[in-house]
Amino acid sequence: MQIITEPRQMQAIAEKMRLNRQLIGVVMTMGALHEGHLSLVKLAQQTAGIVILTIFVNPRQFAENEDLHRYPRPFEQDVALAKAAGVDYLFAPESETLYPNNFQTTLKCGALVEQFEGERREGHFNGVATVVTKLFNITKPHIAVFGEKDAQQLAVIRQLVEDLNLDITIIGAPIIREENGLAVSSRNIYLSSEEHRAASVLFQAILHAKKRIAEKETDLQSVAAEIEEMIRSTPGCRPDYVAFVDEKSFKTALTAEKGEEYRLLLAAYSGSVRLIDNAKIRA
């Protein structure tokens, strides 16, 4: 595995691979690699001959009050995990390399980011869209794998690719969970063992919603209210938002129509740690 930090060098390698008719897959991460990230690498390997993993803690997608400076950066461990997973190139630029002093162009997302994560995290998705576009231009992939764990982000990236005519196939990867159902996340290390145990309520809430919809409940708002109550009654936990949305538009859905698919979006705190989760639910 080759580690690359300079965009020009990564572009030259990617261009050469393209000329050799090699299929390039990219997986973008902020590092602190875990099973979720590695499942994305595996999925990329099933489609592409060459896999580039990027590690970049993108300052432009963190709001002022967020955890940019304490975000975990176990680089040596990440290198070992990426190597063991069979990654071909690890692209890990410095922040000053991607954002030199005269940097001034930022993408602006539309209606998709008006609610949920976009509403709560000022400028987050504009920062994501901008860095993802830069990393596409640097790694020149044919395919890119993103996790359903960040469902709104995946929708934003699909929209970005469509809107800007990017010639890249986006693959969504299923959520990898811990034994207690908690979605694996680099931020789970912030949880105390008690908060970690309590956080499994998010997965319990998803199971509850699936059961209620399977029982033919059509009032999605009342199912969402039941879930909020489940979270609120778990010690140390409080809901941020719970909503059923249309998968593509991310507009809130109030009533379940038979045969239709919805995405249940959850954000909640366990202690002071904010967690997100989601699931596709068919009525």
Q: Give the nearer residue to ligand AMP in terms of CB position, either 3 or 184.
A: 184
146 binds ligand AMP per the rule CB under 6 A: yes
Buried b (16+ CB within 10 A) or exposed e, 133-172: bbbbebbbbbbbbbbbbbbbbbbbbebbbeeeebebebbb
183 binds ligand AMP per the rule CB under 6 A: yes
Which of 4, 24, 29, 182 binds ligand AMP (CB under 6 A)? It is 29
184 binds ligand AMP per the rule CB under 6 A: yes
173 binds ligand AMP per the rule CB under 6 A: yes
Q: Give the nearer residue to ligand AMP in terms of CB position, either 150 or 228.
A: 150
Cα-based distances in Å from 30 to 53, 112, 152, 221? 10, 23, 17, 34
What tokens does 116 get?
């949920």
Residue that the structure tokens 């990219």 belong to: 26
What tokens does 257 get?
């129509």
Catalytic residue among 37, 124, 142, 196: 37
Which of 4, 50, 138, 175 binds ligand AMP (CB under 6 A)? It is 175
What tokens does 36 get?
């979720």
* Least distance in angstroms from the C-beta of 175 to ligand AMP: 4
Of how many residues is the chain composed?
A: 283
Which of 135, 147, 160, 220 binds ligand AMP (CB under 6 A)? It is 147
| Residues engaged in binding ligand AMP (CB under 6 A) | 29-30, 36-37, 39-40, 146-147, 149-150, 173, 175-176, 183-186
